[in-house]
Structure 1
Amino acid sequence: MDNLAKDKTSKLLVKYSIPAIIAMVVTCLYNTADRAFIGSMEGVGAYAISGLGVTMPLFTLIGAFGVAVSVGGSTNISIKLGAKEKEEAERLLGNTFALELLGGFVIMVLGLVFIDQILYAFGASAKTLPYAKDYMSVILLGAVVNLSGFSLNGAIRADGRPKLAATIMIVCSLLNLVFDPLFIFYFGFGIKGAAIGTVICQLINFIWTTYYFTKGNSNLKLRLKNIRLKKEAVIAILTISITPFCMEVVTGSIHLVTNKFLQGYGGDLAIGAMTTITSILLMFLMPIYGLSQGMQTLIAYNFGAKEYERTKKILLQGMFAAFVFLFVGFLLTRFFPNVFVNIFTKDAVLEKICLEGIKIYLMTLPLLGVCVLGPIYFQSIGKIKQSMFLTLLRQVILFIPIISVIPRFIGMSGVWMSQPIADVLAALIIAVFLIKEIKFNNEKDDIVKKSA
């Protein structure tokens, strides 16, 4: 893996990001099809997709733990590999896997026991609860294989096999496209069928990734002696996990807060409209998340190897690529909103609400590259306090006060407008932090060169 500190940064960014981007695009295609199938359920589609919207806070909170531990583990693994400490990297791999197994089991048990109370708290009504419960009860049953398999997929990228990690995600997502209509319509399981298809694919991911690290041609091995929690390894993982965990928890909390305002100002179908619009948003954000995965591995490795100038180049190249892509997305959603909305619903009332919201909610789309990649950069170099603050900035420190005030004056339009206002302010503040960090790293790089 020495090439990570030697090859041209743009070449490496393409090599490590493109597979992850492809995987994220395919995953997004699955999510799009999943919600499109649910929205097309005859006679109940509008309320079914609203029920799915109710599950998003809980779904996101489950993902919060999985993503956080995966990122904490894979980042530490990359740093240890950059420092040529293979045995320690394997110990971190085993502890990451163990944490995900334990977390998945706890989430499954607590979620199933308190599912009604949780969904009502997240905005369910008598009309949407049956759909939300049918979906989440199955998802919770698959939490153990979901989280542990996800962590191993992230570790495959850190192990130097980004194409394989992407291939696994792509295959599972494509299988999901087959399973969705099969279980929803052919077997007549409805919204529960979408969840069944998802869990089956999560199981396939778990088996495939586990095989790679035990019997496959991996650099690191998942050894039984390492699948036990060790204090030092757990602290190392959780220290970096704090930022992505907060990011995901914040996302789930924002879904919860937003659902409450949507229910109050627009009712059940307003939640369905937000589900539709955020699904459209994910079409353009998922590739940026894929880009961030490639950046994370490269920045962490080069930081561990004290190649500070290269970390700056990787960041700037990633930022530029994100802006260009998101600007194209902004133009498409601005001029062709009907095309995107009609993917998810043909219900006239729901479509009208979506069209009213999409032009406002996505007006700051080009700025989201800064909002996503900025905190990831600080996380990758181990600066947890900065990453934590910048993660909370957009959707807690700024968004919650804004959405608590503006809708009181302009109603539903204020709900749509709150996020773009928070995006602009957050992007400006994050840019200031990044400029200061780049200057600081330039000084460190000069010191390293002089001492060489």
Structure 2
Amino acid sequence: MLDLEQKKIGLLMFEFSLPAIIGMLVGALYNVTSRAFLGKGVGTVAIAAITIALPMQTLLWAVMMLVAIGTTSLISIRLGEKKIDEAEKIISSGTTILILIPSLLTVIYFLFANQILTLFGASPEVLPYARSYTDLIMLGSITSSISFGMNNFIRAEGNPRIAMATQIMVSLLNIFFNYIFIFPLGMGIRGSALAVVVAQSITALFVLAYYLSGRSLVKIRIKYLFPRQRITAGIFAIGFAPFSMQIAGVIQQTILNQTVRHYGGDLALSTIGILISLSALIYMPIMGLGQGAQPILGFNYGARAFKRVKRTLKLAIISGTGIALASWVIIIVAADPILRLFSNGDVELTKMTSHAMKYYFALIPYLGFQIVSTSYFQATGKPVQATILSLSRQVLIFIPLLLILPHIWGINGVWRAVPISDALACTLTSVLIYFEIKNINYKEKNISNHNE
């Protein structure tokens, strides 16, 4: 803890952020390569199909985060209180819930699969491909839940390196099996889904082995596997915030898919799928940067070392903006070769995506400022500001624009909604950060006056 208080901010940022950035970047690379492989190996319709599957996958992530983050937080708290037995009750109950809820979601999906995917924007032409992909993803929901959830448990008991290694492993396995199943084996879109399931299953075995081998600090006990009401309520209470954020994402993705298909057809669905995967290459490393800055910001804010707080925030914003700006330059300059990765000479797809990119990424350099500012408010215990900023760009501002602008400009209204949303969200972020800096300066001045 002395390091967080005295070590140079730049070195701390490097130490804390680099592992998270690497983990996030590898995950983003998987998203891009899987779509590129499908575009090359199957065609435009496959990219449209996995774009349709995205809300269902996000819904699955939502229930996993509800359980995993709630359980992880409670484990950390009980370990801090030296209550190992209580932590073991929590992890055991959490493990059971990690299996039960995705199982229930999978049953609901298969009862109403066609209706659900049609709601998410599938046309009659895309629906069979979307079913082929999503059916397999949902059949593997339990292993995905174990892989994600128990990896968070490992981080909670103080093993971030193992957690990072697991995160990187699942992404690299996904890329490897995607290539093998799509090209040499010719399994098409089902091969891409199978790659996800196989990669998550291997990772699930890895995290299970960690706990079953006795290496873990907190043990999963058979006698505690039946979820207790008190523990379950605590898990859900803490996990509800990230769960609700993901649900908001499902709503946004559903409206986006429906609007895009209405105004641009299945081709536009493929376009938005490509744009989403490319944008992940930009924002996920910045999210890693924000995650790395959080313990530094939180510790120094709690220690009332406000000069270090401001220095950390400034460095994180500059670094995040630098990442976003460099990524934007690469995407704009190398647009044609990048887009060729996603198709086998589909001129119409390349033309539409190239046109959409000019709007979609117009204000992306400001993304670093928005993400880092959100991380700051999370780290310093200001959930209201953090939630407002988290929801503003993609939900509170974007959805109304998405419902209005296409009536004026057609499909171009969808593309233009993104930079307008970015501009308004950036303005809101600037206002909140301005008043926060004023508040910090006031506190800093009071400390100086008190010391005198």
Short-chain TM bin: 0.7 to 0.9
Given the alignment, which residue of 316, 320, 323 partners 2:321? 323
CA contact under 8 A between 2:40 and 2:341: conserved in structure 1? Answer: no
Whether 2:398 is the aligned partner of 1:399: answer yes
Q: What does residue 115 of structure 2 align with? A: 117
Instruction: Say yes or no: does 1:211 pair with 2:209.
Output: yes
Question: What is the TM-score with the length of structure 2 in the denominator?
Answer: 0.88
Write out aligned runs for 1:170-249 (5 A): 170-215=168-213, 217-224=215-222, 227-231=225-229, 233-249=231-247
Against the structure 1 CA distance between its residues 5 and 63, is the aligned structure 2 distance closer, same or farther, given a 3 Å change threshold? farther
CA contact (8 A) 1:78 1:297 kept: no
Equivalence for 1:408: 407
Q: Which residue of 1 aligns with 2:276?
A: 278
Look up the match of 1:387: 386
1:36 maps to which residue? 36
CA-to-aligned-CA distance 1:82-122 (integer Å, 9 cap, x gap): 67666655555445434422322222211222111100111
SS at structure 2 position matched to 1:125:
coil
| AA aligned opposite 1:23 | G
In the aligned structure 2, how far is the partner of 1:227 from the partner of 1:327? 48
Contact 1:134 1:191 in 2 (8 A): yes
How far apart are 1:315 and its partner, in Å? Answer: 4.1
Residues 208-244 of structure 1 deviation map (CA, whole Å, 9 limit, x = unaligned): 2233244354444444455454455445444443332
Letter in 2 for 1:26: V
Superposition RMSD on alpha carbons, in Å?
A: 3.0
Q: What is aligned with 2:259?
A: 261
Q: Which residue number in structure 1 is paired with residue 58 of structure 2?
A: 60
The residue correspondences of 1:3-82 to structure 2 (distance < 5 A) are: 7-41=7-41, 44-78=42-76
Q: CA deviation at 1:314?
A: 4.4
The amino acid across from 2:36 in the alignment is A
Shift of the 82–168 alpha-carbon distance from structure 1 to 2, 3 Å rule, reads same
How far, CA to CA, are the matches of 1:149 and 1:314 in structure 2?
Answer: 33
The residue that corresponds to 1:358 in the other structure is 357
8 Å CA contact 1:240–1:382 kept in 2: the answer is no
List runs of 5+ in structure 1 lacking aligned partners.
Answer: none
1:103 pairs with 2:101: yes
Instruction: Tell me if the contact between 1:79 and 1:300 (Cα under 8 Å) persists in the aligned partners.
Output: no
Q: 1:239 to 1:421 in 2, by over 3 A?
A: farther
Most deviating of 113-122 and 208-217 = 208-217
Deviations 1:356-388 (A, max 9, x none): 101110111122223333334434444433333
Q: Give 1:415 shift.
A: 0.7
Higher-Rg structure is 2
Q: Deviations over 1:305-340 (max 9, x none)?
A: 656646655444333221110011111122221122
Letter in structure 2 aligned against 1:200 = V
Matched letter for residue 370 of structure 1? F
Q: 2:149 aligns with which of 151, 158, 169?
A: 151
Is the CA contact 1:104–1:145 (under 8 Å) kept in the aligned structure 2? Answer: no
Residues 68 and 152 in structure 2, CA contact (< 8 A), matched pair in contact too:
yes
Conservation of the 8 A alpha-carbon contact between 1:78 and 1:300: no
Query: Matched residues in 2 for 1:445 and 1:242: separation?
Result: 34
Tell me the distance in 2 between the aligned counterparts of 1:369 and 1:88. 39
Deviation for aligned residue 1:273: 0.6
- In structure 1, distance between residues paired with 2:50 and 2:403: 24
Counterpart in the other structure of 1:368: 367
Per-residue CA deviation, residues 254-299 of structure 1 (Å, 9 max, x unaligned), is 2211111111111110000110111111111221232233344555
Q: Any conservation in 2 of the 1:82–1:301 contact (CA below 8 Å)?
A: no
1:420 aligns to what? 419
Q: What are the Cα deviations for residues 12-62 of structure 1, in whole angstroms up to 9, with x where unaligned?
A: 432232122212222222222211111112xx5011111111111111221
Classify 1:302/1:141 alpha carbon distance in 2 versus 1 (closer, same or farther; 3 Å): farther
Q: Does the aligned pair in 2 maintain the 1:243–1:384 contact within 8 Å?
A: no
Q: Which residue of 2 aligns with 1:169?
A: 167
- 2:77 & 2:439 partners in 1: Cα distance? 20
1:339 maps to 337
Quick one: percent identity of the two aligned structures? Answer: 33
Determine the C-alpha separation between the residues in 1 that align with 2:88 and 2:311: 29
Distance 1:289 1:405, change over 3 A: same
How far apart are the structure 2 equivalents of 1:49 and 1:393?
A: 27
* Cα distance in structure 2, aligned partners of 1:348 and 1:147: 39
- Matched to 1:70, the amino acid is A
SS, match of residue 397 in structure 2: helix
Which segment drifts farther, 106-115 or 289-298? 289-298
Measured in 1, the distance between the counterparts of 2:370 and 2:120 equals 26
When normalised by structure 1's length, the TM-score is 0.88
Asked if structure 1 preserves the Cα contact closer than 8 Å seen for 2:359 and 2:418, the reply is: no
Structure 1 stretch displaced more, 324-333 or 99-108: 99-108
Distance 1:111 1:312, change over 3 A: farther
Check conservation: 2:88, 2:220, Cα contact below 8 A.
Answer: yes
